[in-house]
Structure 1
Amino acid sequence: MSAGAVPGAAEVLAPADEAELAAMVAAAAARRAPLRIRGGGTRLALGRPSQAAAELSVARLGGVRLYEPGALTIVAAAGATVAEIEATLAAERQILPFEPMDHRRLLGTDGEPTIGGAAAVNASGPRRVQAGACRDLMLGVRFVDGRGRVVKNGGRVMKNVTGYDLVKLMAGAHGTLGVLTEIAFKVLPAPECAATLWLEGLEDETAIRAMSAALTSPWDVSAAAHLSGGPTMIRLEGLEGSVRARAERLRERLAAFGDVETAEEGPLSWRDVRDCAPFAGRPGAVWRVAARPSMAAAAVARLRVERPVEALYDWGGGLIWLLTPEQDDAGAALVRAAAEAAQGHATLVRASDAVRAAVGAFHPRPGADALAAGLRARFDPAGVLNPGLMAS
């Protein structure tokens, strides 16, 4: 079975519009028939393995619904592909600021990532340290809840943020609170140019101190990453003259950490960092750890005492990608303990169905888990939307 397949899925429901989707969800709720929500199919391997008998695809709910370049807003159907939206924005020299991750290389999946899928998992790339996460750029949503009701929350323009909390709740809910049908985003002008400062040979702790020095500088850093045993990368973006001047000043600030090179390309691209490419196609489990940056290196060092671990740090150390052996529980107890010691949490992103079913993908947090269960009971009382996917 390919990564992300639904075990035993006998039916694929592909509504042509929101009304048909709502009717299908209502019918499933009446029968208490679980549904696996699908966009482009590139992220179906996230979370616990699905036990749903049917998939509900939003692939036919596509297209850009509204685009106002002057207002820096775009509204798209959930089934619109990220590539389509990026192409639309590029024609006006604008971008999705949160730089959404493409999971295909890491998970070994096919298909085209959709904007609904990106929002559902809160996919946020290296520029998060400057522009914010996906949820921070979401202005409004339309979705169908587990009863089959159409819910609209937020707005289509930046000044209209009514119900903003519910907009944020949908980001990262993995389709367990509702099936997204439309999302409004804030967008930004594309940078005129970019430059990356490179340092080689830094130990993890030193690299994090270097990234912190860059991020706390006045030079408006848009990304900072480090691969254990590899390069440390600092990105600057903006107008060409500004980038050149800021890069020179930042080079001076980072000189204490070693030789600093400036180049647009190097051994690792920002797309590679965004997509966790160093761990793609390699055996082992992959964990995503949110941590306090100042504690990130110590957390990884603690893990390495117990088992082999490779690490890729993004967000200046606030996000750690870990590659661990997949034997037994893929190091679940150790990784989660290390994450908690770093005042964070760990998510199992890639592992076999057996491991994900045994240990769960998401970090157990009793208070937050109880709150999430209450929300799911309110929005999906019959428990038909991706049931069990987020169980810890």
Structure 2
Amino acid sequence: MTPETEAALAEIVKSAEGPLRIVGGGTRDIGAPVVGEALSTAGLSGVTLYEPGALTLVAQAGTPVAEIEAVLAAEGQRLAFEPMDHRALLGTDGTPTIGGVVAANVSGPRRIQVGACRDSLLGVRFVDGMGRVLKNGGRVMKNVTGYDLVKLMAGSWGTLGVLSEVSLKVQAVPEAEATLLGRGLENSAAVKALSSVLGSPYDVSGAAVSGGAALVRLEGLGDSVSYRVKRLLDVACAGWEVVEGEASAALWRGVRDVTPFAGRAGTVWRVSVKPSDGPALVAALGGPEAILDWGGGLVWLLVEEDAAERVRAEVARLGGHATLVRAPDAIRAAIPAFQPEAAPLAAISRGLREKFDPRGILNPGLMG
């Protein structure tokens, strides 16, 4: 089912007699496989409002991300939160949609500077599990009516409602970009260097460890980037290489999309911990291949298929959160993809789902 209007979407949900598997472009097949009739938002497509001067864009949920990026690029603007494209990592096809990005709260390397997807989200329209059309938020940041509910929808994976429209703040594309590249560093030394850089006044927009190298990104006006590169080479990144322009952008697309793990055997985990704990987690698991983003606080792990228990145990010991992003269907069906919640938080989550989807028909079982 692929409705082309919000009213048609609401009618489908209202009249549903069984579970619905909510999808956007079908590129982020994560979590326990949902048994239900497919309901796609791909028919709800198009940018409905764009005000470059106000740095505001409104689009229907099924609008391809590439279309939005093209509209923004024509005005020298972009999505600040740098959403990941999961297709290479997960081996999926289809077209990433802006509703899918918001539903999964997809946020890339620039999160350390501008926040997550939910921090750029101004408002939403969605259909709840009873077929009611709800809206919250606005089209400018100072309109905070219902703002907490707006954030709640980001990362709900279609379990609280089916997004029909989203409002986002955007940002200008910077004049220049450069990456400082420190090769041959152990994870602990690399993260220590990144922590020093992130504690400096030089406004870093990316800090990661990938392929045995530490990467630090700087963006902005050309003279400003040149000055900050020079200062960091003098202070915290002595001897590091400097990569500029498209070559720099390509490095960060690889980090954003976890390209080194694409097409490789093994399961992929996405782990959030304190940045200082990132190297310790990798070491405790025996040194699997890892990408450390967000200064060490976001760890992508490529591990054996039987490593789930060890990953969850070590992450729990460190007080972090682990999400199983890629695994064979049998493992996905047996192991919860999302971090098990403590009893009080699980009760709140159940209460929210019962409020917005009392029949339990929206992506049932996906998030527990």
TM-score by length of 1: 0.91
Q: Could you list the per-position Cα deviations for residues 193-241 of structure 1 after superposition, in whole angstroms to 9, with x for gaps in the alignment?
A: 10000000110011101111111110000001102x5211000000000
Q: Which residue of 2 aligns with 1:40?
A: 25
- Once the two structures are superposed, the pairs formed by residues 239-278 of structure 1 within 5 Å of their partners are 239-255=221-237, 259-264=239-244, 265=247, 269-278=251-260
CA RMSD of aligned residues (A): 1.2
Q: Which residue of 1 aligns with 2:5?
A: 17
- Once the two structures are superposed, the pairs formed by residues 154-169 of structure 1 within 5 Å of their partners are 154-169=137-152
Q: Equivalents in 2 of 1:268, 1:138: separation in Å? A: 26
Q: Which residue of 2 aligns with 1:153?
A: 136
Query: Which segment drifts farther, 246-255 or 142-151?
Result: 246-255
8 Å CA contact retained: 2:177, 2:248: no
Q: 1:220 aligns with which of 199, 203, 222?
A: 203
Amino acid paired to 2:66? A
Q: Equivalents in 1 of 2:217, 2:4: separation in Å? A: 42
Q: 1:335 aligns with which of 280, 286, 311?
A: 311
SS in structure 2 opposite 1:294?
helix
8 Å CA contact retained: 2:56, 2:140: yes
8 Å CA contact retained: 2:186, 2:212: no
Shift of 1:268: 6.6
Q: Which residue of 2 aligns with 1:357?
A: 333
2:112 corresponds to 1:129: yes
Q: Could you list the per-position Cα deviations for residues 262-313 of structure 1 after superposition, in whole angstroms to 9, with x for gaps in the alignment?
A: 1122797100100011100001000000110011111111111xxx621100
8 Å CA contact retained: 1:254, 1:260: no
After superposition, the Cα gap between the structure-2 partners of 1:48 and 1:199, relative to the gap in structure 1 and judged at 3 Å, is same
Amino acid paired to 1:14? T
SS in structure 2 opposite 1:370?
helix
Q: Equivalents in 2 of 1:355, 1:253: separation in Å? A: 47
8 Å CA contact retained: 1:73, 1:187: yes
Shift of 1:50: 1.2
Q: Equivalents in 2 of 1:287, 1:369: separation in Å? A: 22
Query: Which segment drifts farther, 93-102 or 367-376?
Result: 367-376
Q: Which residue of 1 aligns with 2:351?
A: 374
Amino acid paired to 1:224? A
Q: Equivalents in 2 of 1:297, 1:83: separation in Å? A: 35
Shift of 1:369: 2.2
Shift of 1:343: 2.4
8 Å CA contact retained: 1:194, 1:243: yes
SS in structure 2 opposite 1:158?
coil
Q: Which residue of 1 aligns with 2:35?
A: 51
8 Å CA contact retained: 2:25, 2:100: yes
Q: 1:348 aligns with which of 315, 324, 330?
A: 324
Runs of 4+ in 1 over 3 A off after TM superposition: none
Q: 1:84 aligns with which of 57, 61, 67?
A: 67
8 Å CA contact retained: 2:353, 2:360: yes
Shift of 1:352: 0.8
Q: Which residue of 2 aligns with 1:65?
A: 48
Amino acid paired to 2:10? A
Amino acid paired to 1:15? P
Shift of 1:38: 1.1
Q: Could you list the per-position Cα deviations for residues 125-182 of structure 1 after superposition, in whole angstroms to 9, with x for gaps in the alignment?
A: 0000001100011000000000000000000112212111000110000000000000
Q: Equivalents in 2 of 1:115, 1:86: separation in Å? A: 10
- Which runs of no fewer than 5 residues in structure 2 stay unpaired? none
8 Å CA contact retained: 1:296, 1:342: no
8 Å CA contact retained: 1:299, 1:341: no
SS in structure 1 opposite 2:38?
strand
2:331 corresponds to 1:385: no
Amino acid paired to 2:297? G
Q: Which residue of 2 aligns with 1:315?
A: 294
Q: Could you list the per-position Cα deviations for residues 242-277 of structure 1 after superposition, in whole angstroms to 9, with x for gaps in the alignment?
A: 00000100111224xx62111122797100100011
Amino acid paired to 2:288? V
2:264 corresponds to 1:282: yes
8 Å CA contact retained: 1:146, 1:384: yes
Q: Equivalents in 2 of 1:89, 1:388: separation in Å? A: 36
Shift of 1:35: 0.4
SS in structure 2 opposite 1:102?
coil
- Once the two structures are superposed, the pairs formed by residues 193-232 of structure 1 within 5 Å of their partners are 193-227=176-210, 230-232=212-214
Q: Which residue of 1 aligns with 2:304?
A: 325
Amino acid paired to 1:66? L
